[in-house]
Amino acid sequence: MNSPQTLFDTHLPPLAERVRPKTIDEFYGQAHLVDEGKILHRLTKQSATFSIIFWGPPGTGKTTLARMIAKSSQAKIRELSAVSSGVKDLREVIVFAKKNRDVGEKTVLFVDEIHRFSKSQQDALLHAVEDGTITLFGATTENPSFEVISPLLSRCRVLTLKSLEKSHLQNILKNVFEKDVILSKSSITIKDSEKDLLIYSSGGDARKMLNTLEVATNLIGGKGQITEKILNEAIQSKTLIYDKQGEYHYDTISAFIKSVRGSDPDAALYWLAVMLEGGEKPEFIARRLIILASEDIGNADPNGLTLATSGFQAVHMIGMPEASLILAQVTTYLASAPKSNASYKAIKAATQAVKESGTPSVPLHLRNAPTDLMKDMDYGKDYQYPHSHPDHFVNTNYFPNEQSYTFYQPSNQGREEWIRTRLKSLWKDRYPEK
């Protein structure tokens, strides 16, 4: 018999569940939320709570933190999975919560994968959250601003979680071998180099790391050394299925966007096909293409944003499978278009300048003067109307307090080359000859 487990042990939960932290002090990662003085640390210590959406990649602690906060609030707790629960299940929880409220008790509802709830399911929750019958905790890997209805989202605090760092995963591994009911009593060993491989292959996902470790443990029969060969077997034995909510989802959309940005339409089409075959929402892909059209192409080809926006509308109206044709057209156009991130860099620089200088006073000549009183106060005085001048241009200062910046630096790509030439001819002080 290869397994070291007793008959009793075979009924234990999976490793990731067995070592799930019970208190905030046992939790690794998310220092911006759980360190002393931070929001979740204060909530657990004060036994207080409010409706929260936990948003972040898989295996970063969303469910664990939600359970911790719920337990510390001294409320009655109910959990639902959005994958398997319907409106009927929600209504039953609401009835339960109302009974608790009548006797002065709070109810926390934790909804895992809340982004999978339909609009009708979210609507069913809204009133109960609105009137305080339920305190909602939701966990999601998807951007809640896209997946959660606005009225419900506005009544929740969104807390963003980050992928776990190497040091966090090292601590989790150390804790597993010291405290797990099976591994702490086993003779299993693993070298630092294999630990590094295990951590690297997890992509910042603690659950994936622990699941892989559990597979490796079973492969060696619960005793001996976990070698590189065994570990690679464990990693490869994982089911290679596109997971719309998992790490591969993030990796694949990243590969897709980087291929478009890198002007490789063929690679972009490959990753597009991977996502569509895996069941990815076409609207999600279309939204990302709209962002890319501004961030990576911009005024080098202004038609890119127009096509991407039209593409999103068409995808929304048509749906799959024909939406794949629309996405392919938009993808190949954007991948083939000249590239520029000048607008992206410009707004970043302008935002930084505003943060550093504060909110300025608008110069009088730039102010609107719709009333006689405003005119008497010199609102709009000395403003020069560009269309009254040759070339519809007048060299005047539109910045506050005689300030001057050059944020926008058009590239020499596509349409931006013409834009740069024109701006250099108008604002010679901002674009001196090099």
Looking at the structure, do residues 63 and 146 belong to the same domain, yes or no? yes
Last residue within a domain, chosen from 110, 135, 160: 160
Last residue within a domain, chosen from 277, 302, 336: 336
DSSP states of 45-93: HHT----EEEE-STTSSHHHHHHHHHHHTT-EEEEEETTT--HHHHHHH
In a domain, 18, yes or no: no
In a domain, 404, yes or no: yes
Looking at the structure, do residues 155 and 34 belong to the same domain, yes or no? yes
Last residue within a domain, chosen from 336, 371, 388: 336
User: Given its phi and psi angles, is residue 292 left (phi above 0), alpha (psi -120 to 50 degrees) or beta?
Assistant: alpha
pLDDT value at residue 244: 52
Residue 301 and residue 416 in contact, taking contact as beta carbons nearer than 8 Å: no
Q: Which of 58, 67, 55, 57 is nearest to 27 (CA)?
A: 67
Q: What is the largest CA-CA distance in the chain?
A: 96
pLDDT value at residue 222: 80
Residue 296 and residue 260 in contact, taking contact as beta carbons nearer than 8 Å: yes
Q: Which structural domain range is residue 223 located in?
A: 164-236
Looking at the structure, do residues 151 and 45 belong to the same domain, yes or no? yes
CATH number at residue 36: 3.40.50.300
Looking at the structure, do residues 174 and 151 belong to the same domain, yes or no? no
Looking at the structure, do residues 59 and 141 belong to the same domain, yes or no? yes
CATH number at residue 179: 1.10.8.60
Looking at the structure, do residues 403 and 330 belong to the same domain, yes or no? no
Looking at the structure, do residues 175 and 152 belong to the same domain, yes or no? no
Tens digit of each residue's pLDDT (9 = 90 or more) over 107-137: 999 999 898 888 888 888 899 999 889 999 9
Looking at the structure, do residues 153 and 168 belong to the same domain, yes or no? no
In a domain, 345, yes or no: no
pLDDT value at residue 248: 65
Supply the pTM of this predicted model.
0.55
In a domain, 3, yes or no: no
pLDDT value at residue 62: 92
Domain count, the chain: 4
Q: Which residues of the chain have pLDDT under 50?
A: 1-8, 237-241
